A and B are shown apart, each in its own frame.
Chain A
Amino acid sequence: MSNRFRSTIAIVLAIALVASLAALGGCTNSEDNTEGTTGDTEGAVKGGTLSQFIVEPFAITPTLAYESEGIYIVSALFDSLVEYDPITSEIGPAAAESWSANEDASVWTFKIRQGAKFHNGTEVKAGDFKYAWERMLDPEMASEISYHLLSVKGATEMLDGAATELEGVKALDDYTLEVTLVEPYPDFELVVGHPCLGPLPKDAVEADPKFDENLVGNGPFKMAEPWAHDQYVKVVRNDDYYGDEPNVDGIEFKIFKDAETAFLEFEAGNLDFTEIPAGRLGDVTAKYGASPDGYTGNPDEQVLTGPELGIYYANINNTKPPFDNVKVREAICLAINRQAISDALFDGSRKPADSVSPAGILGYEPGMWPESRYDVAAAKDALEAAGYPGGEGFPTIKLLFNSGSYHDQVWQLVQADLKTIGINSELESVEWAVYKDKLKKKEFDIARYGWVYDYPIMENALYALFYSTSADNQSYYASAEYDAQVKKARNTLDLQERLAGMRDAEKILGKDMPVAPIMFYSHFDLTSSRVNNFRYSPMNIPDYSHCWIAE
């Protein structure tokens, strides 16, 4: 089953990739390779240490890491059961050689690769996955990312403290892992590709109280020394690795407080991968050259602006009048000039959002939200249909966002757009803590919101953000029709039918417009002129194994 699955995914992804690349004006060879693509590795040389800018992570252990900084390090140190291709996000074997599901995709069996070792020399066995997953669900750890495992039978019971063992996960023998789910979930094979769902060596974890800062993993790199807080995390090549041996000797994740300082270090020749400072895309591209596909960095093709799987949107409080009126939400959706926002802040590199599912995701189709476009006349009509001709009688609303970053500028533009159709608004620029507080207490009209996908599946956002009982549903949209459609699609076995079902769910959203999509995130990053074939995926995971450094 999984092979059929994977080849179908591969074909669809290849088509989507070619289409999106054609749209970008680039060209590349896309090969259908279930082992994962390696990029153009011709002329690869060994040696050198890659240095990368990160901010101080909250955690670098797979049990707790949730931000991209932590996940960079986790992905270098650990291999999950399957792994995502850095360009297509297609899955291929990693710690598991093969896998299969029962007929309704509620029980999954993973064959663990024999002979693969942890960095301390012990062999990776099925039980190490069970241990790692149980650690993530342990109430003592209080992991914020335990949601990854909620589809597994017994996960909720463990979180609640009602069970001390993860009932749904069994090591049938050293090399066979059986996972029983709460309900059929054909996309589960994509969930287990998340870098934080790798195995942990129980003995090493229990022997070292500081294990989470000096990790022992099973990935292509191992830690050179414990995490030096606010300074660096150093990893070196794992010579005992079962897969493709990395070309670089190691990676130094240099921790900076400020991207501007990191950029100066980049200019001084001391960094290989960093962020582009806001507003500098134009001159940086002129100097360093754009990457043709937006994901792969090579000398003179160093600027990466490929779309990411993530969305920035205006979160509308659906429970509060007048926003409970769909025509009002439609007017807001039509009033926002998304291209102008992208042009003003990101030199046009971020794509205007035409739904909540980004173009790079499997199953995407343009035009699922017909009203997610810029049309002032239609917006005025919608506002009139809602009973507020020219904005007459419409209350002055508040636009809530956390100050700093680029949000202030985005919302000034949105404010001006709303003014054009007759809606007066005030900017409510508050610090992060206050922003979170107001969202939680539903004390907002329209608020900034962002979502980055955990797995390359439409359902990841459609379920989390809009299912009526989901904790992440911050627009408080509730539709029985939508809930039923998402749930049905989620359980559908056939890939094409499932994707069609997800699109149907998205179209219900397109009709109800619970939020106003603004733009899809995209990379805003830069590689140095000595780095070749550095691939930074749409899911923000760099491929450290196939890049190389040429002095």
Chain B
Amino acid sequence: MLKYVARRILQMIPVFFGVTIVLFILRAPGVLPGDPIEMLTGDRVISETTYNQLVSKHGLDQPLTTQYVTYMKNLARGDLGQSYKKNRSVTEIFVEKYPYTARLALAAILIEVVIGIGVGIISAVKRYSFWDVAGTLSTSILVSLPVFWLGMLMQILFGVYFKKWGLPYLPISGMGNPPDLAHLILPAITLASVSTAYVARIMRSQMIDVSQQDYIRTAEAKGLSGGAVVRRHSLKNALIPVVTFIGIDLGAMLAGAILTETVFNWPGIGYEIYLAIIARDWPIVTGGVVIVVIAYMFINLLVDISYAFLDPRIRYGGEAA
């Protein structure tokens, strides 16, 4: 197992170099249109002198290979460089914002796990009952709703109208100062909405699938109660695809959630990276992508490891994984 983990971590190294090299190639003149220094001033044109000062301040007059080597050297010291546009260190930006993104992502994943899996199990166990139909119908609707629309709808209802009607209402933007749970509710529900519906549907079909397997029939024949069969046998076996999905989803959320962040004014990294791409603020783009790629790979690794616990037939570290 340890050997497997070590191997997977070593595999990240070429991926890391691959990603950073591709990102640096994007900076080369002529690959993508747009000059990051020209982006700095709105409609106004900067003078030749200021332009040259900014170019040399950000090291853009160096050959791309030199820039890459300098970047790697600094990265080894934990320095992701200086944003062109923001006058701030990129490390500082991500150290500040990543916890906000993680906070929102974990809250959303929690909703996905509890509600998604819960609804899936109920639907599967009480197949074709009222609850199954209600669950299937509501997940169908949820999957087809645009995230930003759902978010704004909830803001208007729970923030604006509930307040007007004198009911307990929810804050509709920001994280709160200091950050609190109330501010987390609406953005987390919005971010989790579509995935929760998917989780419920995957869970339901997997449970139904598993319940037709021989080993479930064996367990029932042994005289185990219905609840025990679900808990000990079908649930565990049905979980693998669900865990895979949630893992991928968590990875995606840790890359930021542009729509949810925009609607709820959440200070996460998704919008930050998006703005940086528009402004050609390469240090933020590169730093953000490096962090996101590493986070994604680690979560994938965790998902793979979790398989071994869910299904003892899966072994790592042997000759054939």
Any A CB within 8 A of the CB of B144: no
Comparing B45-53, B63-71, B123-131, the segment that makes contact with chain A is B45-53
Instruction: Judge whether B44 and A144 touch: CB under 8 Å.
Output: yes
Q: Which residues from chain A contact B43 at a C-beta distance below 8 Å?
A: 449-451
Any A CB within 8 A of the CB of B271: yes
Instruction: Judge whether A143 and B172 touch: CB under 8 Å.
Output: no
Cα A436 to Cα B43 with chains together (Å) = 8
Cα A67 to Cα B40 with chains together (Å) = 11
8 Å CB contact of A231 from B50, B169, B177: B177
Instruction: Judge whether A58 and B35 touch: CB under 8 Å.
Output: no
Q: In chain B between 57 and 89, which residues have their CB closer than 8 angstroms to a CB of chain A? A: 57, 85-88
Q: Which residues from chain B contact A229 at a C-beta distance below 8 Å?
A: 88, 93, 96, 267
Any A CB within 8 A of the CB of B292: no
Instruction: Judge whether A471 and B53 touch: CB under 8 Å.
Output: no
Instruction: Judge whether B49 and A433 touch: CB under 8 Å.
Output: no
Cα A437 to Cα B39 with chains together (Å) = 9
- Given A258-B265, A264-B173, A267-B160, answer yes or no on A432-B39 (Cβ-Cβ < 8 Å): yes
Q: Which residues from chain A contact B272 at a C-beta distance below 8 Å?
A: 230
Instruction: Judge whether B42 and A67 touch: CB under 8 Å.
Output: yes
Instruction: Judge whether A142 and B57 touch: CB under 8 Å.
Output: yes
A416, chain B: closest CB distance, angstroms:
25
Any A CB within 8 A of the CB of B262: yes
8 Å CB contact of B49 from A159, A228, A264: A159
Any B CB within 8 A of the CB of A431: yes
- Given A59-B87, A437-B35, answer yes or no on A231-B47 (Cβ-Cβ < 8 Å): no
- Proximity bits, A200-238, B CB within 8 Å = 1, else 0: 000000000000100000000000000011111000000
- Given A58-B86, A139-B53, A433-B279, answer yes or no on A144-B34 (Cβ-Cβ < 8 Å): no
Comparing B108-116, B151-159, B298-306, the segment that makes contact with chain A is B151-159
Q: Which residues from chain A contact B93 at a C-beta distance below 8 Å?
A: 229
Instruction: Judge whether B264 and A261 touch: CB under 8 Å.
Output: yes
Total interface residues in chain A, CB < 8 Å: 47
Any B CB within 8 A of the CB of A317: no
Q: In chain A between 91 and 143, which residues have their CB closer than 8 angstroms to a CB of chain B? A: 139-140, 142-143
Any B CB within 8 A of the CB of A239: no
**Chain B residue at minimum C-beta to C-beta distance from A431:** B278
Instruction: Judge whether A264 and B174 touch: CB under 8 Å.
Output: no
- Given A229-B96, A231-B175, answer yes or no on A261-B163 (Cβ-Cβ < 8 Å): no
Instruction: Judge whether B50 and A142 touch: CB under 8 Å.
Output: yes
8 Å CB contact of A258 from B44, B49, B97, B262: B262
8 Å CB contact of B45 from A139, A262, A432, A472: A472
**Most chain A beta-carbon contacts within 10 A, residue among B54, B87, B169, B271:** B87
Cα A231 to Cα B264 with chains together (Å) = 12
Q: In chain A between 407 and 446, which residues have their CB closer than 8 angstroms to a CB of chain B? A: 431-434, 436-437, 440
Range of interface residues on chain B? 35 or more
Q: Which residues from chain A contact B53 at a C-beta distance below 8 Å?
A: 139, 142, 159
Cα A433 to Cα B42 with chains together (Å) = 10
Cα A67 to Cα B43 with chains together (Å) = 10
Any A CB within 8 A of the CB of B204: no
Q: Which residues from chain A contact B38 at a C-beta distance below 8 Å?
A: 433, 436-437, 440
Cα A431 to Cα B35 with chains together (Å) = 12
Instruction: Judge whether B45 and A471 touch: CB under 8 Å.
Output: yes
A52, chain B: closest CB distance, angstroms:
14
B170, chain A: closest CB distance, angstroms:
10
Instruction: Judge whether A256 and B173 touch: CB under 8 Å.
Output: yes
Instruction: Judge whether B33 and A264 touch: CB under 8 Å.
Output: no
**Chain A residue at minimum C-beta to C-beta distance from B272:** A230
Cα A437 to Cα B85 with chains together (Å) = 17
Any A CB within 8 A of the CB of B261: yes
Any A CB within 8 A of the CB of B201: no
Any B CB within 8 A of the CB of A269: yes
Instruction: Judge whether B46 and A258 touch: CB under 8 Å.
Output: no
Instruction: Judge whether A436 and B50 touch: CB under 8 Å.
Output: no
- Given A264-B159, A267-B160, answer yes or no on A433-B34 (Cβ-Cβ < 8 Å): yes
- Given A144-B44, A159-B50, A431-B278, answer yes or no on A264-B152 (Cβ-Cβ < 8 Å): yes
8 Å CB contact of B263 from A261, A267, A474: A261
8 Å CB contact of B152 from A142, A255, A260, A265: A260
Cα A434 to Cα B279 with chains together (Å) = 10
Any A CB within 8 A of the CB of B212: no
Cα A64 to Cα B85 with chains together (Å) = 11
Instruction: Judge whether A264 and B155 touch: CB under 8 Å.
Output: yes
Q: Which residues from chain A contact B87 at a C-beta distance below 8 Å?
A: 58-59, 64, 212
**Chain B residue at minimum C-beta to C-beta distance from A433:** B34
**Most chain A beta-carbon contacts within 10 A, residue among B49, B163, B263:** B49
**Chain A residue at minimum C-beta to C-beta distance from B176:** A231
Any A CB within 8 A of the CB of B41: yes
Q: Which residues from chain A contact B39 at a C-beta distance below 8 Å?
A: 432-433, 436
Q: Which residues from chain A contact B160 at a C-beta distance below 8 Å?
A: 264, 267-268
Cα A333 to Cα B264 with chains together (Å) = 43
Instruction: Judge whether A471 and B47 touch: CB under 8 Å.
Output: yes
Cα A82 to Cα B47 with chains together (Å) = 27
Q: Which residues from chain A contact B33 at a C-beta distance below 8 Å?
A: 433-434, 437
A380, chain B: closest CB distance, angstroms:
32
Q: Which residues from chain B contact A262 at a C-beta distance below 8 Å?
A: 173, 265
Q: Which residues from chain A contact B32 at a C-beta distance below 8 Å?
A: 433
Any B CB within 8 A of the CB of A5: no
B285, chain A: closest CB distance, angstroms:
12
B259, chain A: closest CB distance, angstroms:
10
Instruction: Judge whether A268 and B172 touch: CB under 8 Å.
Output: yes
Any B CB within 8 A of the CB of A291: no
Instruction: Judge whether B44 and A66 touch: CB under 8 Å.
Output: yes
Cα A58 to Cα B97 with chains together (Å) = 17
Q: In chain A between 249 and 303, which residues have their CB closer than 8 angstroms to a CB of chain B? A: 254-258, 260-262, 264-265, 267-269
**Chain A residue at minimum C-beta to C-beta distance from B35:** A437
Cα A322 to Cα B187 with chains together (Å) = 54
Cα A440 to Cα B48 with chains together (Å) = 12
Cα A363 to Cα B243 with chains together (Å) = 71
Q: In chain A between 451 and 473, which residues have their CB closer than 8 angstroms to a CB of chain B? A: 451, 471-472
Any B CB within 8 A of the CB of A146: yes
**Chain B residue at minimum C-beta to C-beta distance from A434:** B33
**Chain B residue at minimum C-beta to C-beta distance from A315:** B43
Instruction: Judge whether B267 and A472 touch: CB under 8 Å.
Output: no
Cα A140 to Cα B58 with chains together (Å) = 11
Any B CB within 8 A of the CB of A406: no
Q: Which residues from chain A contact B47 at a C-beta distance below 8 Å?
A: 146-147, 159, 471
- Given A58-B87, A268-B172, answer yes or no on A256-B265 (Cβ-Cβ < 8 Å): yes
Give 10 closest A-B pairs by Cβ, nearest first.
A433-B34, A230-B267, A142-B53, A434-B33, A471-B45, A436-B38, A144-B41, A268-B160, A142-B54, A257-B262
Residues on B close to A: CB < 8 A?
32-35, 38-50, 53-54, 57, 85-88, 93, 96-97, 152, 155-156, 159-160, 163, 169, 172-175, 177, 261-265, 267, 271-272, 278-280
Residues on A close to B: CB < 8 A?
58-59, 64, 66-67, 139-140, 142-144, 146-147, 156, 159-160, 212, 228-232, 254-258, 260-262, 264-265, 267-269, 431-434, 436-437, 440, 449-451, 471-472, 474
Given contacts A261-B265, A437-B38, A451-B43, list 18 more A-B pairs with CB under 8 A: A58-B40, A144-B50, A229-B96, A230-B267, A231-B174, A231-B177, A256-B265, A260-B263, A261-B155, A261-B262, A262-B265, A264-B160, A264-B173, A433-B33, A433-B279, A436-B35, A436-B39, A472-B44
Q: List 8 A-B contacts (CB under 8 A).
A: A67-B42, A231-B174, A255-B265, A261-B173, A264-B172, A433-B39, A436-B35, A440-B45
